[in-house]
Every structure is written in structure tokens, then in C-alpha cells.
Amino acid sequence: MRSAISRYGARVLPNTEQLVAGCKARGEFIQGPQIAEFEAAFARRHGVDPSCAITASYGRMAFYYILKALDLPPGSEIIFPSLTFWVVPELARVAGLTVVFADVDPKTFTIDPDSVERLINGKTRAIVPTHLYGLPCDMDRLLAIAGRHNLIVLEDCAHALGALYKGRPVGTFGTGALFSFQTLKPLNCYGGGLALVRDPALARKVRQLIDALPWPSEKRVRDRLLMGRLQRIFVKPWVFSISLFPVLWISALIDANPDVFLWEKIRSLHPLPDQYTERFPNAQAIIGLEALAHFDTWTAQAQANAQYVTDTLRGIPGIQVPMVPLDRTHVYYQYCVIGPEGPKRDELVVRCVRRGIDIETLHVDVPPDMELFGTVRAEAAGARRCAQALQIPAYCGLRRDQLERVATTVRDVLAEAAAAASSPP
């Protein structure tokens, strides 16, 4: 039997165990010099002072402490895209702000500046452009709007480390930015995050807040690394075929959501869970530091894979391959196409899954449609359209033969559907 191809591929260093064992042997598992080295290397990549890159327990907490350091008046409004990971707006609420959701442009999946502008009022204080799936937002327009209305811009770079807008890396355009180092994110440290802050005085405040937190216990960090290893094993092609894949296969038929095995429960994050309010440990920093050395190679591979899929799918009627404006680069954290909607889309997914290619449909969320957010001010028509996308595996860890199998299978399934749609019944 041919193995199934998983929707996710974690980026894993072959020497992870040795790096961690070395930390332990030196008595630097929790506190150690690699934290500052990692921050400095990250800052260097972005052309900022080392003091302006501050590691945190999660990407979301990096964001939270930037908000705390900014000390915006309670009830200030902050605008998010209506297609994003729900935890980020949720933490803005924990920080005392009112969240508002602007629509996204279905061509790029990123926040629509016109929608942002429509939602601005006297209470608006900040905008959070999410460089979704690895494509930078339209920063010139967003910065112009922010300038006109005196708003702070905080970039969500969880998907987009290494992506460029007009030659400049994302994370360097706003007042601050968050990066995530979760297992499936572009730079995998098995968890953790980083705040990149432009102004050294603001960076000092963020660092003070984070430095005041306790260190995690050794057990917590050991469990986290183990959990990362399990997630990683779980999505390896051969294990995936015999464990998770049948679950996906069946749930594709019965329309269940199997992601409960990988993702966290949607819930209020007030009060903050314990593991949120801790510091980023050295054992994870050393993994990040080493991973940075491989990072550009990984990105180039993901981009080459994406190009291959695009070349294979181009020209199929009714299918929109990723659109990359000429002034940006896409790092393809996820590769998404927009095709048919509703039951037709679901049927395509089932057909791909049956042929051993796992297609995900919505990697992030449409928070305005979540009960957690109740009645928020939102524009979300474009986000709902994007939520109908097909997410095709094109990650850098795919072998060439796997990539070809993905691309040709998806092409055949889409082309069959397009032919059926255009022929009379």
C-alpha cells in the first residue's frame, strides 16, 4: 500500500536530541546563554538591535506583552483580520481591548485595507495585519491608513518569518511584531514565540514584563519536547497512514472535525493558563538558534515546491492558485487554492483523501463566526470565502516523488470536477 501524505510537515533538525542532551549536560536546560544568542541572531536577521528581540512562552504571549507595554486605554479598539488564529484576538481581549474584525481579500487571504478603513472610529488604536499563510499584507496601504488615523500597527508574523515586502522582512514595518515557534510553524522550537519591537524604550518595557515571570519547570519543558516529538511522529507519512489517516479518511466521509487531535480547545483564556506566564527556556532557544542556520534553505524548498504545485494546477477552470503580488515574496507556510464552494468543495476533499492525499480546508479560523466572540463588529464575507479554500501539502519536507503525487492527484481530481461541471447532466 502506498503511504498517505500528511497535511503537515514539521521542520525538524536531525540533531535535536543531541542539542537538548548537551544543554542538560551543561546544566543549561532551563537557563542558559543560548536564549540571548537566539534573540541576537533573530534581531540580526531583521536588522534591529539585539535588545529589540524578546523571547516569550508563546507567540500569542509575545503579542500580549507588547500590548501590556503599550498600555492602551481600556476599551480601545483593535482591528484584526476576520481570518486568523482565534487566540490572538482572544489575548487582546484578556489585555482589556475591544476586538473588531476587518475583512480579508480573497485573492491574497490577507487583511483588506478598505475594510480596515471602514471600521475605524474614535476608539480605534491599533491594527494587526496577519501575514497569513506566509504572504505579506499590503503594508504600504496599511501604514498609510495607520498614519492618517494615528494607529499602532502590530504585525502577526506567525506564518511569515522570512517573507519580504518590497525587499524588507515582515516584522520590521510596525511598532511591534509577534513570531511563533510552535511545532508546525516555520521555525520549530516545539513552542515559544518572540516579540520584535522597533523602539528600544518599548522593547525595554516588554523585556521587563517578561523578565519578571518565573522559569518553567524542567518537567514542563521535557513534556513539551516530548509532545512535539509525538506530534511529529504522528504526521510522519508511514505513521500517519496507519494512525491518523484512517481517522481523517472516515471523518472526511462523516464530516467530523479530526483536528481535535492536534489543536487546542477554543475557550476563554481569562485567566491566563499557568504555562503562558513563564519564560522561554534555553533548551528551546538552542533548537531555534540551530534552526535559523537552516531556515533559508527550508524556505527556498517550500517556495520551489509551491511553484511546482502551481505549475501543475494552473489553467484548471475555476481554480485560483496563490496570487503573489510582484512587490512581495510568499514563504508558503500553507499552500491554498480557492475552488468550488460548499458540498462540491467537500466532495473534492473526500476524493483527495481517498487517494491518500490529505487536504485541509481551514487552517485558521473566522473568529467573528465563533461563539467565543459573540457579537463583535466585523466584516467577514471575504474571510468566509477563503474558509472554502483547499490546503494542499507542499511543505519543504516532502520528497520529490511525494510532491509529484500530491500535485498530479489534486490536478486530476480538480480537472475531473471541472469537466463534470461543464458537461450537461
Residues that bind ligand PLP (CB under 6 A): 58-60, 84-85, 87-88, 130, 156, 158-159, 180, 182, 185, 193, 364
Cell of 337: 487554492
Distances (CA, A) of 22 to 170, 182, 260, 290, 412: 33, 22, 34, 13, 48
Q: Are 276 and 58 in contact (CB under 8 A)?
A: yes
* CA atoms of 356 and 350, how far apart (whole Å): 10
Closer Cβ to ligand PLP, 352 or 386, answer by number: 386
> 372: Cβ–Cβ under 8 A, 6 or more apart, which residues?
86, 90, 266, 267, 268
Q: CB of residue 85 vs ligand PLP: minimum separation in angstroms?
A: 4
Q: Are 241 and 3 in contact (CB under 8 A)?
A: yes
Q: CB of residue 134 vs ligand PLP: minimum separation in angstroms?
A: 11
Closer Cβ to ligand PLP, 283 or 364, answer by number: 364
Q: CB of residue 123 vs ligand PLP: minimum separation in angstroms?
A: 24
Q: CB of residue 94 vs ligand PLP: minimum separation in angstroms?
A: 13
Q: CB of residue 221 vs ligand PLP: minimum separation in angstroms?
A: 15
Q: CB of residue 32 vs ligand PLP: minimum separation in angstroms?
A: 21
Closer Cβ to ligand PLP, 252 or 378, answer by number: 378
Q: Are 136 and 159 in contact (CB under 8 A)?
A: no
Closer Cβ to ligand PLP, 65 or 85, answer by number: 85
Instruction: Count Cβ atoms within 10 A of the Cβ of residue 36 and give its class: 0-12 exposed, 13-18 middle, 19 or more buried.
Output: middle
> 370: Cβ–Cβ under 8 A, 6 or more apart, which residues?
86, 266
Spatial CA neighbour of 173 closest among 322, 315, 363, 327: 327
Closer Cβ to ligand PLP, 92 or 413, answer by number: 92
Cell of 260: 481535535
Q: CB of residue 179 vs ligand PLP: minimum separation in angstroms?
A: 8
Q: CB of residue 368 vs ligand PLP: minimum separation in angstroms?
A: 15
Q: CB of residue 130 vs ligand PLP: minimum separation in angstroms?
A: 5
* CA atoms of 33 and 77, how far apart (whole Å): 39
* CA atoms of 218 and 220, how far apart (whole Å): 5
> 264: Cβ–Cβ under 8 A, 6 or more apart, which residues?
87
Q: Which residues pair with 338 in a beta bridge?
A: 320
Cell of 77: 479598539
Closer Cβ to ligand PLP, 86 or 298, answer by number: 86
Closer Cβ to ligand PLP, 110 or 182, answer by number: 182
The CA angle 376-61-185, to the nearest 5 degrees, is 95
Closer Cβ to ligand PLP, 45 or 159, answer by number: 159
Q: Are 399 and 15 in contact (CB under 8 A)?
A: no
Closer Cβ to ligand PLP, 174 or 340, answer by number: 174
Closer Cβ to ligand PLP, 128 or 337, answer by number: 128
Q: CB of residue 34 vs ligand PLP: minimum separation in angstroms?
A: 19
Q: CB of residue 169 vs ligand PLP: minimum separation in angstroms?
A: 17
Closer Cβ to ligand PLP, 193 or 340, answer by number: 193
* CA atoms of 76 and 201, how far apart (whole Å): 22
H or E element, residue 80:
strand 77-81
